[in-house]
Amino acid sequence: QVQLVESGGGLVQAGGSLSLSCTASGRAFSMYSVGWFRQIPGLERGFVATISESGGFTNYADSVKGRFTISRDNARNTVYLQMNGLKPEDTAVYFCAARMGPRGTYEYEYRYWGRGTQVTVSS
């Protein structure tokens, strides 16, 4: 079992940057692929990015490709989401999620979830 805590959210102007962290407690974090999802109030959570257990493979939603970068440091049990060129439409609560096995892009594929961190981008 793994527990996840997100941090790094906040308020930023359009065009700015934020770096989110997802820190895990529990054993064998390197056996989990990790995804970032985001949720706008009233809507379902949507896929943002995912990274494989070793960090060698990543996937991104088309809406964030070229602006966001997912990475991980297994020695620190942490996955990062560097967000550059932020737009008002990136405003959402950002969640990280973990699953044992290959990375996935669907919410139902992930068993463990953090509580989320708010990102607000002003125009």
pLDDT at 10: 97
Q: What is the pLDDT of residue 1?
A: 84
Mean pLDDT by 10 residues, the chain (123 residues): 95 98 91 97 94 96 98 96 97 97 92 97 96
What's the pLDDT at 13? 98
pLDDT reported for residue 9? 97
DSSP annotation of 66: T
Q: CA-based Rg of the chain, rounded to a whole angstrom?
A: 13
One-letter amino acid of 122: S
Cα torsion 82, 88, 89, 92: sign: positive
| The pLDDT value given to residue 41 | 84
**Closest Cα to residue 88, out of 120, 61, 66, 60?**
120
